[in-house]
Structure formats: C-alpha cells, structure tokens
Amino acid sequence: MTPTKPSQRTRKPVLPRSRETRAAARAARIPVQPRSAPAPASGKLGRLVELMRRPEGASLQDLCAETNWQPHSVRGALAGSLKRSRGYEIASERIDGVRIYKIEPQEQPEVGA
C-alpha cells in the first residue's frame, strides 16, 4: 500500500452557513464592555493619550511623528487599544481640512471631602 500524496488527499467539503446559523453565531458573541474608568496607558499609547488631552488636541501627523507609526497603525491603536480595550472617549473633528483627535481631561477627585 502506497501512502497518498498531500495533493491526492480529499478535503472536507465546506458547507454554506444558513441565516439561522449566522444569526446564532452573532447572538453568541459577547459584547465588549468598556471599563468604568479608563485604564492607564503607558509607553507609546500613554504618549498618544497625553497628546490628545492637550486643549488643542492632536492631528494624525502629530500622533504619527510621536510614535513613528504609520497612519493606519495610529488609527488602529485609537480604535482598538485606547477606545475599545481601555475605554477612553475619543472625539475627532475636522478643522481646516485636518482631523484633530481629543480626549477630555479626567476629572480629579476632590481631596479631603
């Protein structure tokens, strides 16, 4: 008996998923709940947070220059690591054709209350 070559092996057929199966898979996903207080970011992510907390905010070019990342990487970090995972509220607005990203400063708890 000769062993079969990988090219001669049969593959398991891929069956199309029904609407019900897709709907059940979507319902089974657990939504990501942001934390009540944003987790502190350190390193390059922390520097992004510092820049966006300035009153004037930070442009995408500022954020790219600070981290030496490409624009798509900065946008991914904003959406994934900072907004979704750490729970930061990131606002953006277009001023004179330049997108500006801002994070509202955190309120400091009152001391001695």
The per-residue pLDDT string of the chain (113 residues; one tens digit each, 9 = 90 and over) reads 555 666 666 777 766 777 777 777 777 776 666 556 666 778 899 999 999 999 999 999 999 999 999 999 999 999 998 988 888 899 999 999 999 999 976 654 455 54
pTM of the model: 0.60
Residue 88 makes CB contacts below 8 A (sequence gap 6+) with: 38, 41, 49, 82, 103
Check: CATH 3.30.1120.10 for 38-103?
Answer: no
So where are the chain's domains?
A: 38-103
- Tokens 């490409």 correspond to 70
The tally of CA atoms less than 13 A away on the side-chain side of residue 12 is: 3
